[in-house]
Structure 1
Amino acid sequence: MSKPGSSQDSQRTDQAADPSAQASATPVVVAGRATRDAPIGVAVSTSPGQSGVVTARKAGELRDMGLQVDPRKVGVQGALQHLAKAVNIAFQTDYGENYLESVYQAAVFKRGEVQIIHREYFGFGDTWFGQFGRLIRSMELTLEGPDPVSPEGRERIIEKGPSSIRGIFNLLGRKLDLVTEYEDRVPAYVEQMFDRLEASGIIVGWNRDDWDVWTTQIGLDIRIAPKEGVDFGG
């Protein structure tokens, strides 16, 4: 037991008189307990300089980048550069949440458009020889089985093995619009990805009506460019 007038009693008296001293000695975190219906705990910070509730985004160290993709505010070139950067972020963090990131490698800004490159054709250049190489690779893939560059087609080939005859018939059916193609769904997947990126705060100013999204005839690369006839204000 401490004696009256000791240093411990003096310290308690000083803390009682000074609220700031009590605050600094208070534990930093008070945590809520998860329940069966809502298995989520909430932590509240009481330290000076911290913002209170620790959200899932803060816990995961996710930051809103706010890349501006409205050509009216940053120009067409700036918007395209930001779109390419956002696509690469999406592929690294699973913001695509569909079949895009499983078959596409990366996005680059080149020649006034965003080019998203399919993994089967990564490394082929824009020269005549590069295009010829894409054509040869496309023919090789067709002989492996139906729709080989799509995720579903690749899984089917792995499961059932190569089938050149089925691959050729499937190619003819796709080109004659007798069967659906993976590439027909790709533009919608791209728009969904940008919708999620905007909802997460990584991009701002996204408008589907500003952009054309399509795939190349050979290589199934994705192209994104401003729509013709849209006024971006100089």
Structure 2
Amino acid sequence: MENLTYWKIIIDLITSLGSISAVIIAILAIRFATKTSNHQILVSKVEEIYEITQHLLYYYPSLIFVYNRLNESHNSEKYNAEERSSKHKKYQKLVEQFKKNVDTEDLYRKTGRLRTLAQAYLSPELKRKVLTYNDLFEKLIIVILQEQKILQEIFYKEGFPEEKLLREFAAELEICLIKIIKLGEKPLSQNDIAEYRSKEFKQKLDIK
């Protein structure tokens, strides 16, 4: 009888240990699945960030061409009033043509989406770079489509960068995006973006 009780205790102990092990394995499995899921989400968002940066870059030559025409129409040192008026009409036609060929509302949505994704998923340094890159496009699009040249004079009084230099900067972003491993970083303020734009961004793009 004592032997039966002894073996029963052993069996109960093994059963209990087995249950505990099963719980531990389940917890580990859940943690692994969560980690994998978070990584998949991060990868998906990083891919979207990259796609938007490239999408905006694709339109930069057209945007800067229209901007240059707008700039000429305001250049009183080089052109007289009649010439500036003629150039302004050409600028307006270019804007109309651009709006016909490009979904401008989609451009606005893309910059808004990029800002949200960068704030939510990027590390501080990369966040600063992507948000300032995005800010350049936001300002450029508004300057061109709404003829708000005052924005350029406030934020980019030196002018907008050459296409070649911007492409090089975008290539740097691509390399950084591949290396991302963190989630949930603290969002940057507009002051952080302004400081990076004035101290590093413009120097990198030779805006003086």
TM-score normalised per structure 2: 0.33
Comparing both structures, which one devotes a greater share of its residues to helix? 2
Q: Return the structure number with greater relative CO, CA threshold 8 A, min gap 6.
A: 2
TM-score normalised per structure 1? 0.30
More strand by share: 1
